[in-house]
Amino acid sequence: MTPAARAPLLLLLLLCRPVLGEPSAGTWARFARLPYPQDQLFLYDAFPEGFLWGAGTAAYQVEGAWQQDGKGPSVWDTWAHRGAAAAGGDVASDSYHRLQRDLEGLRLLGVSHYRFSLAWARLLPNGTAPANPAALRYYGRLLEGLKARGVEPLVTLYHWDLPQALQDAHGGWESPALVERFRDYAELCFRSFGRHVRYWLTVDSPYLVAWHGYATGRLPPGVKGGPEAGYRAAHNLLKAHAKVWHLYNNHFRAIQGGQVSIALSSHWIEPQKMTREDIKECQKSLDFVLGWFAKPLFIDGDYPQSMKDNLSLVLPEFTEAEKKFVRGTADFFALSFGATLSFHLYNRPQIFIVENSWFISGRTKRDDSKYVYYLKRFIMETLKAIRYDEVPVIGYTVWSLMDGFEWVRGNVRRGLFYIDFQSRDKELMPKSSAHFYQEVIGKNGFLPLPENQPIEGIFPCNFAWGVIENNLHIDTTPSQFLDSSVYIWDVYRTNTLIKVEGVDAPKRKRHCADLAAIRLQISLLGETHITHFYFSLKWSLILPSGNLSYVNHTLLFYYQCFVSELLKVNITPVVALWNPMGENQGLPVSLAKHGGWENPLTVRAFEEYARLCFKKLGQHVKFWITINEPYTKNLTFIAAHNLLKGHAKAWHMYDKEFRKTQKGKISIALQADWAEPACPFSEEDKMAASRVLEFDFGWFAEPIFGNGDYPDVMRQWPYQRNSRDVWDFYLPYFSEEEKKLIRGSFDFFALSHYTTVLVDSENEDPEKYDQKLKVQMLNDITWLESPSGSRVVPWGLRKLLQWVKMKYGDVPIYIIANGIDDKPDAAEDKLRIYYIQSYINEALKAYTLDNVNIQGYFVYCFIDRTDPKYGLYHYVVNRYEPRPSLKRYREIIDKGGFPGPETEELLCPEEIALDTDYVAFQPRRSFLAFISFICFAFIVTVFMIINYSKKVDKRYK
């Protein structure tokens, strides 16, 4: 994800338009040059003192009472009653009858302002005088209630609900007559309510009113007049706004001291390439939506040049007097935006975000976690605009205060408070988003938390620093010196070697030096400064038939050489017997064809295979993993049952037959991503997250590290669900003997961890909802994201380590795999550098602050040859290029962590450092002894010849 991707990801971009009328690459290039990944990280900081926090509603969405107390019909009433909307606003949230309810909701949130709109058709039922006394009383009570609670009103004069009488009499906003009608309506509002109101908005989203109300007909009044009608309506809207601004400026500002603006919205677009043509097209797109209204108001009183050039036949023109009248008629920039909307800064006015939200499913009730994370991101990006870009944002308004009628969008919700529309009392019930927003307001932002700060410190001397390679590159091609044939050189005809038939040289034994592929890998590993290297054996290649009837001794010899050469450069091999990846998940074909791990015979075959590996490699391997990361997502209960028994049998076999002589350790490597409750205020989400952990992680961890049986929640859950498919959920039972066999079959806890997920108990998206576990996985969109979509959440590792300690005690833990993907061509490797150092720092917190018994950390992975998005080394045509992340990891290893000025220095015993370029293939001792003997014999022979020659010379003399 690039820094320039903020807007398409629902983020706020605040850009300055540098030169009027001329597109500039600087507008977009500025955001393309932001520091990565630092600019994408969550910003913990406070908003400026006095920042305005609010919530908003629109009259037609919440008031209801569509024909009570003298209210006249609006264009939305007519539209809804024709069946053009899924549900009308006849009752909506019933705010007209529940004023105290709404005021109490505002008090609970602690907002500083409340944006609401006045219903033109309620105040002036026919669109013109006389005024409706009941409406004046209703809005008067609302303003008095806000004042009593210290809440600042932000009042919209027109939020789309034009009186139907004006549409019928004049044709709505297509008619210039609406300019004066709107001015008269505004004067009534200023006179009646102005003493209470400091912020006024004339029109909400004039683009939508003009284009979709009069050009496309998608919104009321539903006029399909084409572009000409849309541009005509917009022209009148701009003149009406300017008329009202001047009215307030000339007659009310001095007394009331308020400000007037218009709420503008827009889309966001980015050039595919930073060429002048692409930039020009982007500027044009923005001009036709945002610039259409913003340029006349904030710049020069006229439309963007791109619109005038392309729409000369349909775009109305301003006279010079009108340009002067329209220009500068906004006291602040009021931004109304939702999905992918953004705005320019026109002459750097103060920005007031008067609407911001996202839509969630109408199925969602009070646990609206998805909405929370949209809200979190929008607010955080607003904070970044203030702190990083120095944008003068003065306020933020969530849309909306409560669930209401959502125009033409159908069954969606946007409110901070849930309303059951079928209930009689229409109670406001705070959602998770309300609690979240309340906290943000109370803290005036996102205050830095001590647990989010990196710490200084180091790991102990014997800490295992490692790298993992799941698919070790194997090349058993023998050296030419093993060829016993005799050749002659044909210098006269072919200039090639010709084999001499029937003549063979004496054969010699194979040496590790004959396997050239190992030398390079050992050399590269030596450059990392690691102490441990973790890789997996290939069961399907060592025993192709699945039993001992055929053993691939060539491959075993390769592994013997590899692990022995690792030891020579002070790297401890950590070896997995089986890794479920590749064809047939790495099982021999014969076993895979007969059901794999669902067949109990595979348990016996695995035991036989493990014994062979212990015999052949155990002399050099002191860290064994039986099974690497059994993948629980597509594993049947029967297969998992047999996997656990296979692991336990291999562990006990090693314990009884090999541990005494080989003195090694053995365990199983389990993969676990941390499951965080999507909503911290929801007990249901907490239970759901715990359930996911137990099913994904505890499934294997509890039998081995706990009580010898599956987690209680796995036993009880099928019956708690009370579902018809309970028998599809059948979980096998262990005998008491099997429980005893499995329980305690470990020497350490090997843990793979990559990311964190949010667990939501709400069924908001049926396609993504896990019906068996009754959960839905979410992501916090403020989290840093890799190219594949994996989220970078370092604190999740610490929480997982705490959970393991809490559940299984002070067991030694090795973080056996931890890594992130990045773009294969990402030369600077910044994401992986940030990931590695951040996750290691969280492991250090767990070690130093939480007393978790962490004994090792392994980066995934060694080389990107088989997994192109990962790797400390980049493979390019028989070359291995070290990435910058390798250098950073090596620095951390050399320092033992993150030492600070006050960190006590550890005096660790130094191991003999061997030069990997020369030692990686040390000859065997017997060979060295032979060379030494030859040298010694040569020296003695030379000495004897010289001595004999001297004696002969003396005799003749």
DSSP 8-state assignment for residue 171: -
DSSP 3-state assignment of 744? coil
The pLDDT value recorded for residue 3 is 36
Surface-to-core class of residue 296, CB atoms within 10 Å of its CB (0-12 exposed, 13-18 middle, 19+ buried): buried
The pLDDT value recorded for residue 911 is 52
d(CA 817, CA 468): 7
Chain-centroid distance of CA 375 in Å reads: 15
Is the preceding peptide bond at 316 cis, omega within 30 degrees of 0?
Answer: no
d(CA 337, CA 378): 10
Beta strands of 197-321 (E only): which ranges?
A: 199-204, 259-264
Is the preceding peptide bond at 130 cis, omega within 30 degrees of 0?
Answer: yes
Tokens representing 628 are: 């690497």
The pLDDT value recorded for residue 17 is 31
Is the preceding peptide bond at 861 cis, omega within 30 degrees of 0?
Answer: yes
Q: 355: left (phi > 0), else alpha (psi -120 to 50), else beta?
A: beta
The residues facing 264 across adjacent strands are 335
- Residue 105: half-sphere exposure toward Cβ, Cα within 13 Å: 28
Counts of helices then strands in the chain (DSSP H, E): 33, 36
Q: Which residues 6+ apart lie within 8 Å of 43 measured at CB?
A: 380, 383, 384, 387, 388, 446
Q: Which residues 6+ apart lie within 8 Å of 597 measured at CB?
A: 587, 603, 638, 639, 640, 642, 643, 646
> How would you classify the pairing of strands 360-361 and 412-413?
antiparallel
* Residue 187: φ, ψ to 5°: -65, -40
d(CA 426, CA 97): 10
Surface-to-core class of residue 6, CB atoms within 10 Å of its CB (0-12 exposed, 13-18 middle, 19+ buried): buried
Asked if residue 360 lies in contact with residue 371, where contact means CB atoms within 8 angstroms, the answer is yes
d(CA 761, CA 384): 31
d(CA 729, CA 599): 19
Q: What is the DSSP string of 578-624?
A: E---SGGGG--HHHHHTTGGGSTHHHHHHHHHHHHHHHHHTTT--EE
- The structure tokens 């102990």 sit at 460
Tokens representing 141 are: 């009570």
Q: What is the pTM of this model?
A: 0.87
- The structure tokens 């090792």 sit at 856
Q: Please write the tens of the pLDDT for every residue from 498-557.
A: 777 766 666 657 778 778 889 999 999 999 999 999 999 999 999 999 999 999 999 999
d(CA 271, CA 420): 44
Surface-to-core class of residue 228, CB atoms within 10 Å of its CB (0-12 exposed, 13-18 middle, 19+ buried): middle
> How would you classify the pairing of strands 784-785 and 791-792?
antiparallel
Quote the Cα angle for 325-329-333, to 5°.
155
d(CA 237, CA 234): 5
The residues facing 158 across adjacent strands are 203
Q: Around Cβ 197, how many Cβ atoms within 10 Å?
A: 21
Beta strands of 240-298 (E only): which ranges?
A: 259-264
Tokens representing 649 are: 């049998």
- The structure tokens 């290297």 sit at 533
Q: Which residues 6+ apart lie within 8 Å of 412 measured at CB?
A: 359, 360, 361, 362, 406
The pLDDT value recorded for residue 281 is 84
Buried residues in 315-336 as b, exposed as e (16+ CB within 10 A): beebeeebeebbbbbbbbbbbb
What is Dmax (Cα atoms) for the chain?
A: 150
Is the preceding peptide bond at 682 cis, omega within 30 degrees of 0?
Answer: no
- Output the CA–CA distances (angstroms, integers) from residue 73 to 76, 613, 742, 788, 869, in the order listed: 8, 84, 74, 52, 61
Quote the Cα angle for 569-853-757, to 5°.
100
Q: pLDDT under 70 in the chain at which residues?
A: 1-32, 84-87, 338-347, 478-487, 491-492, 497, 502-508, 722-729, 825-827, 910-957
DSSP 3-state assignment of 398? strand
Asked if residue 7 lies in contact with residue 340, where contact means CB atoms within 8 angstroms, the answer is yes
Provide, rounded to the nearest whole percent, the portion of the chain with pLDDT above 90.
71
The residues facing 784 across adjacent strands are 792
Nearest to 744 by CA among 809, 694, 788, 681: 809
